[in-house]
Structures are given as C-alpha cells and as structure tokens.
A and B are shown apart, each in its own frame.
Chain A
Amino acid sequence: MPVLSKADIKEIKSKATGLRRDIITMLYRAGSGHPGGSLSIIDILVVLYYKVMNVDPRNPRDPERDRLVLSKGHACPALYAVLADRGFFPAHYLDSLRKIDSPLQGHPDMRKTPGVEMSTGSLGQGLSAANGMALAARLDGSPRRTYVILGDGESQEGQVWEAALTASHYRLDNLTAFLDSNGLQIDGWVREVKSLEPLADKWRAFGWNVLEVDGHDYASLLEVTGRASACKGLPTMIIAHTVKGKGVSFMENQVDWHGKAPGQNEYEKALAELDAGGRD
C-alpha cells in the first residue's frame, strides 16, 4: 500500500473539497436530499476510489473490478460526485439528481447509474449483498475485494448483525466494511435513540477484525485500508470516526442537516467556505 507524501495529501484534500462542492451544488439544485451523511463519507470514498480500489470507468463491468456497496444509500450524492469525477458518467448528470427521467435516483440504482454496484436505500441490506459479492469472488478464485459502507444508525437494523455473522462464519477476508460513525441519525444522537456501545467490542464479538480511524484523515484511512486487506481469515470492520456534515461549518454535527437541501443563502455560504479552503 503506497504511503502518502505531503503533496499527495494536499492533492487529495483539494479533490475532496471539490467533491464537497459538487455534493452541495447537486443537493441545492435537486432541492432535497441528504447532505450530512454524504459529507461524512466523502473522504472515505476519495481514498477508496482514487488510491485503493481497482475500477476502470472505461470498463465499468469488468468482472475483475473491486466492488463498493453503499449500504447507507441516502448518502449517494457523495458516491455520484466521485463516480462523475472518475468518469463513470458525464458531470452534467449531477444537475439532474432526483429529477424525472434522471439516471441519478434519490437512492442508488444499479440499473440506472454506471458504477453503482448495488441498489440500496432500505437500510440494513448492503452488508448481505456485499457478502454475496465476496463469496462470488472466492468461488471465482479472484483476488478482487468488496467494500461496503454502513451508517451507525443503520446498524440498529437486525439484518446488519445477521450479515455480520455470515461474513465471519465464511471468513470473508476479501471484504472490508466501513462504519460511518458520525454519531447522528434522523431522530438525534445514536447514543440517545438507541445506543450501539460498546460498538467495536460488538463487531469483535461477532468475529471481525476491528480497526478504528479518523474518517477525515487521508493518510490514516489509507493505512487502515491496507491493514484490512492484509488481514487473513477475518472480515475487517473499520470504524471511521466522522463528523456529520463535515466541511460546512453550519452543517457539522447538526441533526437537522441529515435530510434537507441548502437554500440559496446556505448554498452560497457553504461554497464560500469550501472555496476558502474548508475548515480543518
């Protein structure tokens, strides 16, 4: 796994800032959608799609490609921004998000959007599908990897834990999961709605290799992703400590920014902040 130089990190940061701009613009134009959980995972996606995953936009159905399932499907604006930037589809698609006849649905649709590997939106289902993909890779004798991103609120779904057992039972070491631990869900703080703690212990008890990381620190993200790939015999859960709404000051840690689009003033303010270099 390559190590990031200072210049690399600067470049990734500027890439991520540009994608945050795309997310905000897309949601502003759509007039609805989910900014908070999109901004919390964008740094993870940037590391995966620019530094880790083997995907080729010119050959999006290559059987040997790595897969990513966005189990917390409502954060698809982040995925769309990345896929557009990597060239899976033209950037102007982003302007049509959530509109009639758009290839970019409100939640990911594998039949409509190039680069989307699994349709999601009903929470709790993505890890099972990712397990199936990882089992298929093993049957094929292929080294390809499967990545999946779950939400912390989403982890209250029973199916997540059914799938957690399946992954460890089948020793899916070709699977890397990220848990976007931003602490918030729709009705408030996860710890107040229904606590998941002790979270890392739970995944360990379910038979997983568990790593924790600052989900906005590129070098660390790259490093743990490498450690996950190197782990033999167990699936890996990377608990990414993130900030919901990260990068737009007035959205950060605000439950209200889970599922509403910025109005014009908010849009301009957000862009100005991002253009000024974002907040660290």
Chain B
Amino acid sequence: MVNHNLIDELFDSARGGDQRGLGKLLTMVERQSEVAARVSERAHRDAGQARIVGVTGAPGVGKSTITGRLAAVAGTARPAILAVDPSSPLTGGAILGDRIRMDNYAGSGAFIRSMATRGHAGGLSVAVPDAVRVLDAAGCDPIFVETVGVGQVEVSIATAADTAVVVVTPGWGDAVQANKAGLLEVADVLVVNKADRPDARGTRRDLEVMLDLGHQCGWRAPIVLTAATEGEGIDDLWTEIGRHIAHLHRSGELVHRRSRRRRGEVADRIKLHLSERVHQIVQNESGETVLERVDRNELSPAAAELLLSPLNPDNPPED
C-alpha cells in the first residue's frame, strides 16, 4: 500500500523535475481515494505559487494548439498543461487526443497530462483542483487547464483559474454560442482563433458589442486575434494574460478569487463524497428493501427518503 514516505519521496523527486514521479502523483489524485486525500494534503503545503490559466471553448476551436504555443512563450523552465476530455458514458473509455496538437509546440520542458472525466463530472470538480495543486507543489508554472466549454462543470473548472481564456472562431455562430453558454461573462481574456480565416475582425466586433451589453467591474476582457497553427498572436495573448494577472494582484482580486475557488472546492468535495454515500445507500440491501416498498406503492418517495437519508439523525451511520 502507498505510505507516507513514498508520497514524500515522489514529491521530492517531482520538485526536482522528475516527470515520472509527478506522473504517479497525478494518478493517485485522479483515483479519488484515501491516498488521493493524502497526496492532496501534502501538495497543499507547497502549492500557491503557480499562475493558473484556464482555456475553454467549443470543440475544435484550437484550444490545444493555443495552449501548447502558450506553454512555449511563457518562458518558464517548467510549464504544465492539464488537458481534460470527456469519457464515454457507455464504456468509461476515452480518446485523449490533445497531446497531438501540443507536443510539437510546447517544447520538451513542458509537462503535459491528459485527464478523462471518468464517468461523473462531479469527480472532476475535485480531481482537477487536486491535480493542479500537485503540479503547483511540484514547481510547475504556469499551469494551463484545457476543458471543452460545454457542460457546467467543464466551464466552471476552466474558470476556477486565475485567468480564464475563452476561445471562439470566426463566424457569428461561435460567438453567439459562447455568449449563450455564459462563457463570455466568465472570460478574462477572449480569443478569436483561426484568424487566418475570413471575418475574424467581424467576430471581434460582435464580441465587443456583447461585452458592451454585459456588465463589468474593473476589468474588461481584451479580445486577441490568433492564428495558433502559425503561432500568430500568441505573444499578444500571453501579454494580455500577464496584464490580467497583474490586475488581479493590484486590485486585490486575486485573494478573492482564490478564496472563492477554495470555498467552492470544499463544497464540491463534500458534495462528491455525499453523493457517493447516497449511491451506496440506494444500492445496498436495506436500501433495496425500502425501494421495493416504494415500487409497491407502500411508501411515498418522501417517506423513503426519511428512512434512508444519512442526514436523518434517526438513521444509524452504517457502512
């Protein structure tokens, strides 16, 4: 079994730049378990130094290409990328293809990890912050988190960063979709990628109008045009991200953001473990007995809840 010495050793070597040790630690936090909690706890001690940048947007807009390029221009020794993709709900498997677009650009110093959502998105809202914490504690900076901007959890993960970058492509559709999905509201920096295609400027104007209609306090998301495959606009994008981070520091907003993020994470952890508990309860034998009585209409759903809920103090805390 995994003991504390092993976790400490892995952290020591990961801080020294050992990619395999870091890879193993990430596997541990990914498998939410007792070990994950200990790794997270250990990472907590050394984390808090890294700049965290979320990158989100519709499928195929160029998030991975942009992220790989950003890792290269960041100019640090050890940038990291966490690329999150959905698992198949049917089989639990996943094809994680982000590295193809990143490897070529990011440079050999970059640490890239692909992560599948593994069934329940609720797990992701715990596993991703833990993984970021481990990367941070290992000395990686900046840390980019790529998620597809569909689904609330995915969006909230990317925006639980210091800086949230939202990517769209030319054409009215993408921008409108992003607006509808609530992505524009949470964007700290907006990117119109594939600017080598027609109408990127038109899309920028559309976004400006939408931003005018929204409300802002203290920071208006700048809009950057990029052609990521060519590397165009990436320096500008990195500059704007840097400006946003400077703004966070100057305004004191960084402290607020990070505190909001941590509070959210505490709630998410409790939710995850409660929902696992609920899952166990309805699946075990006494749960099944009660549910069968609901089937036969002998019990109302409300009465069944009272009988089964771990929140009802009359119910014994059983395993």
A binds B: no
Please report B residues at the A interface, Cβ cutoff 8 Å.
Answer: none
Please report A residues at the B interface, Cβ cutoff 8 Å.
Answer: none
